[in-house]
Structure 1
Amino acid sequence: SIDGLWVELEANMVLTVEPGIYISKQADVPKKYRGIGVRIEDDVLVTKDGHKILSNKIPRNIDEIENIMRQSI
């Protein structure tokens, strides 16, 4: 929505798709998982014929992500 009004998507608009999982801090959850969250976002360009995922080359699996994290230290 824009200013509270729903608009139809048009070519050259960009949006994000942000699926995520958030784990409770409750005692019945194993300690190592309490209170963590994971979200992998995609930036998507609306085209005249459909869409193009702009973020399709970002790391997705654990090994790729951990490798990037090691490089940033």
Structure 2
Amino acid sequence: VEPGLYFQADDLTVPEEYRGIGVRIEDDILVTVDGNRNMSEGLPRRSDEVESWMAALKG
């Protein structure tokens, strides 16, 4: 089991809008001969940042 929060689609104790979803935030790291670069460092991390980003994508 990994850190995170997972909701099963058939778990009726979870509010309907959260059933069957999961969110996992990971970094994409480019490794080169000279070192590494975090390719995802500009993406939102905190829940409020993610919610704002998703709202902006929806228009």
Structure 2-normalised TM-score? Answer: 0.59
Q: Which runs of at least 4 in structure 1 moved beyond 4 Å after TM superposition?
A: none
**Greater per-residue helix proportion:** 2
Give the count of matched residue pairs. Answer: 55
Among 40, 43, 47, the residue aligned to 1:58: 43
**Bigger relative contact order, structure 1 or 2, given CA contacts below 8 A and separation 6+?**
1
Higher-Rg structure is 1
Taking only aligned residues, the RMSD between alpha carbons, in angstroms, comes to: 2.6
Could you tell me which runs of 5 or more consecutive residues in structure 1 were left unpaired when the two chains were aligned.
1-18
Sequence identity percentage: 47
**Greater per-residue strand proportion:** 1
CA deviation string 1:34-61 (max 9, x = no partner): 2111122322111235432111111111
SS at match of 1:42: coil
Could you tell me which runs of 5 or more consecutive residues in structure 2 were left unpaired when the two chains were aligned.
none
Structure 1-normalised TM-score? Answer: 0.52
Indicate how the Cα distance of structure 1 residues 47 and 20 shifts in structure 2: closer, same or farther if over 3 A, else same: farther
